[in-house]
Amino acid sequence: YRAKSYKTGVSVYNEQWGYEAVERLQLVQALGHAIEHDQINIAMQPFVSVESGELTGFEALARWRDTVRDVEISPGTFIPLAEESGLMPAMGRNILRKACETLMRETPDSDLRVAVNISVMQLRQQDFIDDVATILASVGMPASRLELELTESVFAGDVMHIRQVLGTLRDMGVKISIDDFGTGYSSISYLRDFPLDTLKIDQSFVAGLRNGGEGLFSSIVSLAHGLKLSVIVEGVESRNDLDKVLELGGEEIQGFFFSRPIDSRKLGEWLQSHSQHPFTMRRRHLSMA
Ligand code: C2E
Ligand code: MG
Ligand code: MG
Ligand code: MG
């Protein structure tokens, strides 16, 4: 490894590498600034009950508009950046707080829940449980209205410790769900050994239903139900997707067919129009009951 000069761009590596390194550094700085100035926002995407068509809650999704360059940066870019640069604890805390505040501001007297994506890195923080308890208390939100979404990466590394942290959170009443299920480590025994409530089937399996993936999809649903986990199906984009999912099972659905993620600042407006035009779940092929 040889250090390179950013000024001249001369190094054993190509120009492109140097450019990316500088870009990246600037992006980390801009992200740090955005976190400090409370510019990371959230969008809320509805969960819908398969049985009733009713709204059951929302997933909070982080959003960042870099105001200097005036561009929207996707969470797929800035979440890993925050994790790698040490900004995640602060950012994650802000997102969690904002998600809870939004839910309590817009739907104070309901049992709608909010699901927040949590990096494994946050679970490893010493004070994560305290953070959650503090935020719930200061917002006045029952723990049962909070769900934490974790990816299968929680099943790697310090499994004993993570399982304990999740156990404590669950004892508090917080729900735990596994996100993007089927795309990561498929250590199925962990689904039994970890304290979990919900399994979110990754959207790629819904896409798979468009060309013969029914067997795989329903196997995942059976697996979840066999382990007493409730199922959320992600990525339902069309009436056609919905009909297939209604046939194959799952308790809740999320996807563009119902709603895109909604800017948290416009959630009140959305809720008002939704109350006039609620979701419907007509099955095209009703079975003989
Ligand atoms: P995810 O948690 O699996 O979130 C679902 C993603 O799918 C979201 O993308 C959402 O906008 C998108 N989506 C929802 N419905 C549909 C659909 O019908 N079709 C398609 N094609 N996509 C759909 P988004 O908001 O870009 O987030 C991407 C990922 O970034 C998330 O995937 C999550 O892993 C991560 N992320 C987002 N916010 C946070 C956060 O606050 N903390 C952490 N740790 N990760 C986050
Ligand atoms: Mg998620
Ligand atoms: Mg997901
Ligand atoms: Mg996903």
Q: 193-245: per-residue pLDDT in tens?
A: 999 999 999 999 999 998 899 999 999 999 999 999 999 999 999 999 999 99
Confirm or reject: Cβ of 79 under 6 Å from ligand 1.
Answer: yes
Determine if residue 10 is left, alpha or beta; phi over 0 gives left, psi from -120 to 50 gives alpha, anything else beta: beta
Token pair belonging to 49 = 């009950």
Kindly report, residue by residue over 141-177, the tens digit of the pLDDT: 999 999 999 999 988 889 999 999 999 999 999 999 9
Q: Ligand 1: which of 58, 61, 96 to mutate, judged by most atoms within 8 Å of the beta carbon?
A: 61
The Cβ of residue 171 has, within 10 Å, a number of other Cβ atoms equal to: 10
Confirm or reject: Cβ of 231 under 6 Å from ligand 1.
Answer: no
Query: b/e string for 61-81 if b means 16 or more Cβ within 10 A?
Result: bbbbebeeeeeebebeebbeb
**Does 266 score more than 80 pLDDT?**
yes
Confirm or reject: Cβ of 106 under 6 Å from ligand 1.
Answer: no
Kindly report, residue by residue over 90-109, the tens digit of the pLDDT: 999 999 999 999 999 999 99
Confirm or reject: Cβ of 203 under 6 Å from ligand 1.
Answer: yes
| Centroid of ligand 4 to alpha carbon of 250 (angstroms) | 17
Q: Cα 44 to the chain's mean position, in Å?
A: 10
| Centroid of ligand 2 to alpha carbon of 117 (angstroms) | 5
Return d(Cα 66, Cα 4) in angstroms, integer. 28
The single residue listed with the structure tokens 């404590």 is 168
Q: Considering the chain, what percentage of its residues have pLDDT values greater than 90?
A: 80
Strands 71-73 and 55-66: antiparallel
Q: Which helix (H) or strand (E) holds 116?
A: strand 113-117
User: Which segment of 15-19, 186-190, 232-236, 275-279 scores lowest on mean pLDDT?
Assistant: 15-19
Identify any residues that bridge with 225 across adjacent strands, giving them in sequence order: none
| Centroid of ligand 3 to alpha carbon of 151 (angstroms) | 8
| Nearest to 96, CA basis, from 65, 139, 57 | 139
Backbone φ and ψ of 61, nearest 5°: -120, 130
Token pair belonging to 288 = 């003989």
Return d(Cα 60, Cα 43) in angstroms, integer. 6
Confirm or reject: Cβ of 74 under 6 Å from ligand 1.
Answer: yes
Token pair belonging to 54 = 């009713």
Nearest C-alpha to atom 20 of ligand 1 is from which residue?
A: 235
Token pair belonging to 21 = 């390194």
> What pTM does this model have?
0.92
SS3 call for 269: helix
Which atom of ligand 1 lies at the shortest distance from residue 261's CA?
11
Return d(Cα 64, Cα 94) in angstroms, integer. 13
